[in-house]
Structures are given as C-alpha cells and as structure tokens.
Amino acid sequence: MLMAELAKMFDAAETAEIEARPVAMGPANTVDALELAAGWAGRVEKFDRDRALPWSDRTVWNEHDLAGALFLRDFLQQALDGLPQPIRQKLAQFVEAADSTFRGYTIDDPDGKMAKIADVDPNGRPWWWRRVPVDGPIVQDLTNY
C-alpha cells in the first residue's frame, strides 16, 4: 500500500532515476529510496499500532525490531542524500511525514538504550537514534537496559 502511494508521486523518469541509485544494505542486497521510504513508514505505523497492545501479544515487535528500523532509517537517509535535489525534495516530504509520526509517539532516550541494544556508538548518530516510544510493549522491554 505504501509503495503504491509512493509510486504515484513520481513519473517514470523520476522513478528510473531513483532506481538507478540504490543503496547497498549488505554484500548482496541493494534497495532503492522508494523501497526504503515505504519500509520506514510501514515500520513507524507498526510500532505505533503496537503501543496499544499488551506486551504478551506475540505479534508485537520488540526493541530489536526498533533497532533494525533505525538502521533502515540510516540507509534511507543515505539514499535520500544520493538523489538529485528535485526528487530528493519530493521524497523527503513523504519521509518527513513518517518522521513526524515517529517523533509524535516517542520521547528522548537520554540513556542511549537504543544505541546499546544496536551496539552502536550514539555519538554523531542522527536524531532517530535518540528516540524511544513513550508507551507500549517496547517500553517494558527497555526496562532491561
């Protein structure tokens, strides 16, 4: 659904330009900015929905899923930075909507719990690495860190 929504925002030439600039997410895996933007937005929505569920619900994503989403956001930023300005600006509007939603249900992570979980140095990391949900099952998971 999100991918279809994104695809409508770009004409064929713009889509080809985006597809020509994939980001390596591993030795054998490349993903373009549209896939990354849809992935980030989908994860932001999932974490938000999960906040209303009990920790015992087996469909709930945990702190490690959140760490994975933050890495995905890093790759998305790399992909955005590699796009020509007019396309970047158009896609950035979509990404900013997801970022705004994420900011809306998260709070500062002054203890760097997400960096600890992901085993990364928090220094120099973008803002999304310093945010955790304000409530929900992940908050319970984070009490262990």
Q: Per residue in 6-42, pLDDT tens?
A: 989 999 999 999 999 999 998 889 999 999 999 999 9
In this prediction, residues 46-50 reach a mean pLDDT of 98
Place of tokens 């890093």: 74
Q: How far apart are the first and last CA of the chain?
A: 35
For the chain, give every domain's residue range. 2-142
Chain centre distance of CA 120:
16
Using alpha carbons, select from 131, 128, 108, 104 the residue that is nearest to residue 48.
104
pLDDT of residue 26: 87
From CA 109, how far away is CA 17, in angstroms rounded?
A: 37
Beta bridge partners of 132: 107
